[in-house]
Amino acid sequence: MGGFRSDGTWRNWAGNQVARPARVERPRTEEEVSALVRRAAAEGRRVRVVGAGHSFTAIAVTDDVLVTLDDLAAVVDIDRETGLVRVQAGIRLTALNPLLHAAGLAMPNLGDIAYQSVAGAISTSTHGTGLGFRSIADGVVGLRVVTGDGFVLACDGGQNADLLHVARVGLGALGIVTEVTLRCVPAFNLRAVEEVLPVDEVLDHFDQFAEATDHTEFFWMPHTGRALLKRNTRTTEAPPPPRNRRHALRRRWKRFKNKELMENAVFGALNHLGRLRPAMVPRFNGLVAGEGRAEYLTTSYEVFASPRRVRFYEMEYAVPREHGLEAFRRVQEVVDGLGRPISFPVEFRILGGDDIPLSTASGRDTAYIAVHVFRGTRYEDYFRGVEAVMDDYGGRPHWGKLHFQSAATLADRYPGWEAFRSARARLDPDGRFSNDYLDRVLGPVS
């Protein structure tokens, strides 16, 4: 993940964002969060919070006060009967998921990594997949937020419900989230079917796959005619027990080979080789795409999220579901017209709409298209070409992933834009929690 260095700097996971803060704060209590905000206000300094550092944008970068919530990372309460779970904001999803499972609960939906802090994931509109399901932030039913004057604001269905509605996706612009209450569901497993198919076949039948399966997504390897189609079905059925010790070891080895060796070690090595020999990238992509079919059954969070050890830069856009496949085909044309090979897959997912003002799925069922390049690779022409396609469909960028938009280009794409601006002016009238990135994408506090 991202982290602090001995020279006083902070870097994000991808290494493309660097902060040189005047001071780093590591509060252990909500009271300490309030105090540090009041102290920064007295000094005329701005404050930003960093979670796991998995955002690719400069959303956490500041040269004033940088706050890490790593010491605010406990589970406060788990109510098994109601499914309501209170957690401190800095807890990582990868730590929370096993604790929920042990209590017989689960997050309703997850993205394909789980390194983020809970507050970071909801604040940037991190999502999962599935037409019948919604983003992580949609499951938030309560927040505690320290506002620009150091006051602690409790938001739930009974108090400040209007602010809760807005603050679930807040970009860290409304205050410092110290506690989150999540509505969880009974623990479930996923039956995963992963199959390499011709990409044209996947595109022709994707809507049918998506409507017949709980969670459907695919990855197309550029310069090949193949895509990995993933279909996950929710079930309470238990994984079959291994027949014997040898069978258990073989099952473990197969999982390790697929998730660690092929998706990380081998993929990383091929990307390094591809940097030295770009002409070989299409052939390497064919090796990565592979062939065949795998089927397995395990806990939901182990299927939803996979380890990501090969570092990259990413752009992801949300477009109306009905335009998603058309937009994807146009992205294929962008890739083919670049004049250089792309070594990372293009990802396609869909999700049900919600009503959160700055959610990327606000007001519409949504298709997500994500493009990546190996860390250290030039990307601007590729990402700008993809963004130009997304602009034609009113595309909304993931708040934590690279894009070139501004408040002027984004305001009309969110039906709740003015509601968010109003809440921001109310909770942080002095712009205490702003930085250059927020000034660009949200505009100044007014």
Tokens of 34: 């309030």
Is the confidence at residue 88, as pLDDT, over 90? Answer: yes
CATH of the domain at 213: 3.40.462.10
| Residue 204, in any domain of the structure | yes
pLDDT of residue 376: 93
Which of the listed residues 186, 214, 233 is the one where a domain comes to its end? 186
Average pLDDT of 213-220? 98
Confidence band (pLDDT; 50, 70, 90) for 70?
A: very high
| Residue 286, in any domain of the structure | yes
pLDDT of residue 1: 54
Do both 225 and 130 map to the same domain? no
Which of the listed residues 363, 378, 397 is the one where a domain comes to its end? 397
Do both 174 and 204 map to the same domain? no
Do both 160 and 282 map to the same domain? no
Do both 271 and 302 map to the same domain? yes
Is the confidence at residue 256, as pLDDT, over 50? Answer: no
pLDDT digits (tens, 9 = 90+) for 390-417: 999 999 999 999 999 999 999 999 999 9
Confidence band (pLDDT; 50, 70, 90) for 136?
A: very high
| Residue 138, in any domain of the structure | yes
pLDDT of residue 253: 40
Share of the chain above pLDDT 70, in %: 95
Distance CA 171, CA 126 (A): 11
Task: Give the CA angle between residues 171, 176, 180 to the nearest 5°.
Answer: 90
| Residue 415, in any domain of the structure | no
Do both 139 and 235 map to the same domain? no
Residue 397: name the closest of 177, 129, 171 by CA.
171
pLDDT of residue 262: 59
Amino acid at 338: L
pLDDT of residue 257: 43
| Residue 21, in any domain of the structure | no
Residues with Cβ within 8 Å of 292's Cβ and at least 6 positions away in sequence, in order, are 195, 196
pLDDT of residue 247: 52
Residue 164: name the closest of 151, 150, 179, 149 by CA.
179
Is the confidence at residue 192, as pLDDT, over 80? Answer: yes
pLDDT digits (tens, 9 = 90+) for 17-45: 999 999 999 999 999 999 999 999 999 99
| Residue 52, in any domain of the structure | no
| Residue 59, in any domain of the structure | no
pLDDT of residue 244: 57
On whether the CB atoms of residues 134 and 361 are closer than 8 A, the answer is: yes
CB count in 10 Å sphere of residue 88: 22
pLDDT of residue 240: 78
On whether the CB atoms of residues 115 and 91 are closer than 8 A, the answer is: no
CB count in 10 Å sphere of residue 8: 12
Amino acid at 145: V
Task: Give every strand in the sheet of 84-88, ordered side by side.
Answer: 75-78, 84-88, 176-183, 140-146, 152-156
Do both 179 and 220 map to the same domain? no
Tokens of 332: 């294929």
Global pTM reads 0.94
Residues with Cβ within 8 Å of 275's Cβ and at least 6 positions away in sequence, in order, are 374, 376, 377
Do both 216 and 356 map to the same domain? yes
Is the pLDDT higher at 384 or at 253? 384
| Residue 62, in any domain of the structure | no
Number of domains the chain contains? 2
Average pLDDT of 92-118? 96
Do both 159 and 213 map to the same domain? no
Which of the listed residues 163, 186, 209 is the one where a domain comes to its end? 186
CATH of the domain at 151: 3.30.465.10
Lowest mean pLDDT, pick from 33-37, 121-125, 260-264, 337-341? 260-264
Do both 393 and 287 map to the same domain? yes
Full residue range of the structural domain in which residue 79 is found: 75-186
Average pLDDT of 311-334? 98
Q: What is the mean pLDDT of the chain?
A: 93
Is the confidence at residue 214, as pLDDT, over 90? Answer: yes
Do both 154 and 201 map to the same domain? no
Task: Give the CA angle between residues 62, 384, 344 to the nearest 5°.
Answer: 90
On whether the CB atoms of residues 17 and 56 are closer than 8 A, the answer is: yes
Is the pLDDT higher at 265 or at 436? 436
Do both 167 and 196 map to the same domain? no
Residues in the chain, overall count: 446
Do both 205 and 161 map to the same domain? no
Lowest mean pLDDT, pick from 21-25, 208-212, 265-269, 303-307? 265-269
